[in-house]
Structure 1
Amino acid sequence: MASVALPHKLTTIETKRIMSVLDEAIRKVELVTLLSAMVDNQEALEGVLGEATEKAVRDHGDLCRTLLDSISDLDAKERQLQEMGGLEDGRSVRDLLCSEEERREDILPLMQQIKDSTRNTLRLLLSHPQASRLLQMPALGRSPQAQWFVDSLVELRSFLLEKLLTTPPEARDKALFIQDISRRNKRNQDIVEALENELAGSIKNRDAEVEKENFVIQELKNHLHQVHKFSESSLVRTKQEAKKQQKADFRASKARKAKIQQEILLLQTQYHNLVMENREQEQALRKKKYKVETEIENWIQKYDMEMSEKQAELEELGAIHREEKVQLEELKQKRDVLAEEYSQIRAEREISSKKRLEAEEQLALMVRAATLIQAMWKGYLVRSMLKSKKKKRGKGKAKDKSAKEKAKGKEKAKGRK
């Protein structure tokens, strides 16, 4: 069931007065909780609150410090009394108790003065127009307990405002809503109880399963213990067998050691014999080496002598070679001169042969040209004769024969020419 929306403003004078009284109380509490911070930050508040207010704040701070000093002295004396509780000097204890009682009596008027100072300072702050700025200054801060008290008052104001804004029909609706919530809560509680019972059964079943598993684990532990015992017995047997095997190996190693020592003695004898034999061979080889070295030195000396002779011959041949080389250079120069002359003669011969060939070619060309001219002339004569024959075809055969003979005679004459 949804709750009805509350009105935003109070309608009756009584409710307004109640809220105004609570707001005023919250504002006063906020200012009172800032007094300790104002005392500690007097430099930041200079020129803000006025001289009277600042003086009242300073006086209030002095009273608070005096009260704190008195309380600290009382605490110190109480600790001293606790320490001196087991001592025999009862007179000093009585003196301390008397002084403590006097101190307590002195604190009561001081506390009354602090109350009066608080009321006076609060009155001055409320009458000052700049007092509301103190609540917004970041330099001033409350203690956690004071802030919790202010927050509680603000929460109380919200709760009271909600109560005052609630009308009787809204209250009835709210009661019905709460009853509905209660029924739902009861139903949920029943469901929770059923689930808890089911959970208890599940836990019981789980415990039974755990007990079974514990039984199985115990059996496994017993089996493991038996296996451990069996492994220990097998380990003992293995150690015994290992000891027996070790003894047998030790005896066998002794026998092998004696045999090896005999072999070592035999090998040492063989080694000594080989050393003596190798020494004799080394002596013979040393003699042979000395002989070979002597022969090599003789050969080297002979080689040096022959090489010196060859070097002398080589120098003589070098001198002869240089002389012949000079002669060769002279012959090369002469050959170059002759080669140049031969090339000139050959060039002249080539020129004359070219001229002769050109003359022969020109003569052949002229002969060919004459032959062609003669052939063309003969052709011309034949054509002219054929033309004349066509004109004189009506004449007798005698004339034709005489003309042919004349023509043949002319051709023969030309051929002779």
Structure 2
Amino acid sequence: MAAAWRTPPPAPAPPPASASASAVPPPRKKLDYVEAGIVGVLDETIYNIEFAVLLPSVLPNLDRFSAVLGPELEGALLEYRPHYDRLAALEERHAQGSTEASEIAELGLTFDDSLRNVLRVLKAHPAAHQALKEQMGPSEGQDALLIQGLSELKEVVVDMFLTSPEEEQAMDRRIQKLTLKCIKHQVTSAALEEKVAAAKKKKDDTINQKREIFFKLQTKLHHEATISEKSLKRMQLEADRQMMAAQKASERRCAVMQQQLEQLCKHYKTLCTENWEKHRAMRQMNHKVEAETESWLQKYDRDMGALQAELDRLNVEYAEELEQRRELEHKLADIEPECARIREKRRVALKLREQEEREACAATTIQALWRSYQLRKTKAMKAMKAQKKGKKGKTGKRGQKDKGRKGKK
């Protein structure tokens, strides 16, 4: 992964020891503050991921690793294990469609805080981390690929930081040397073309000379036709065959040299294009990595500052509420006897009030019964008097007055 980010250009042939010592400056051996901070963030990330990869195997076996972890780290892991188990159960139920993502998000905040606490305690116990790595062995699968990729990224970043401007200038000088070599190849190709043309001209002259010789021989043969006609034909065929063979050989050499020339030109153009593309890609990747690193550092500083402020505020509020609780418990202990006495008074007063209400209700009932009894008695007496009057008839006024007075009484 890191090799794809920064592919070094092909190195030219090494110059002599004296020339390289004078042309290439010594590389920078130390990082500045910002670069060291970036490398430190990468180291911390790799350290945390290595420990996080070991957590699923360590949490179920805390008793077995208690001697390695120590009491403080073991306590932090014991606080972290319930959050881990609950989050795993929620994710499993969410995969089955029986829970909502909001519950996982709410639990994720508590899970993140607990995990940060474990990592904070782990920083103070590097020996425990090393012992766990030795006992558990190297990680495998996607986790190992992630850790390896981050390690390669760190090496690339350190290499990029340690590459000084002088080294870049030395690289540019090597590229210029390659360009000069390509120009020399062009000059050599032109010289070869001139040699090919000279050889072709020389071969044509040779052919012309041989043709002249042939014509001379032919003339001579014409003069000597009477001597041997078969000998003349044989010499003519031999001369034609040699001429065609020489011409074909010359054409083949010319074609081979032309093909070599075209291949050299294509190779030179390909090298120039690749060098420019790699140089531009390296610069773009350098700017992109610097911008992303700066943005991540700023975001990390902002998030850590906000979380620290929130943690301080919660600690202050918790201390205040704890103090208020102690005061309220003390006051409650003081007023508990008084409350019991007041409750007892209220119970006695309620009992007396209920008894008075029952007595008043009984008195009212007795009075009502007595009045009804008096009314019935009066009505009965009046009825008896009316019957007596019907039997005796009318009496004198005096008797009526006396009866009226008795009735009134």
TM-score class, shorter-chain normalisation, is 0.3 to 0.5
TM-score (norm 2): 0.35
